[in-house]
Amino acid sequence: MSTQYDNIHGPYDYMRTLSIALIEHENVRDTIAPYIKNARVLELACGSGFYTYDLLKWGATSVVGVDISSGMLEQARRQAEKRNDLGAERATRDVKLILGDGSKPQIYEGGEFDVVFSAWFLNYAPDRASLVDMFRNIYMNLKPD
């Protein structure tokens, strides 16, 4: 797995407190909340959990977060303890964090999912073949209609 993000979660999390990130957060909430009520959500490239626990708050029944960085996942685990709005028990019970590469097609534990969500994921595709693999991964983990 990649380690490029393992040691930058502090500055990364600080960036998520800036007004532009908070505006993005509100826009994401307004856009996806209607689609995640009572849904099982797979979040690819969940990072330090900026959206992970809010997906529960916005109506998801459970979230499986996948990230390539063990350091980011460790920070995301620590976020569960700080989520007084959800309760640490629900945040721990209904969120599962998995070390994995979302750009590689694979079926994740807990799938099939109602919704696959990701912010800042597809932009990492270095070429068309990688982008196709990312979309293949999303498709493989969605519930069939």
pLDDT of residue 10: 58
Q: What secondary structure, in 3-state letters, does 58-101 show?
A: CCCCEEEEEECCHHHHHHHHHHHHHCCCCCHHHHHHCEEEEECC
Cα–Cα distance, 40 to 27 (Å, whole number):
21
Cβ atoms within 10 Å, residue 139: 11
pTM for the full predicted model:
0.86
Residues 22, 6: Cα–Cα separation, whole Å: 23
pLDDT, averaged in runs of 10, over the chain (145 residues): 57 63 84 95 94 94 95 89 77 92 93 93 93 97 91
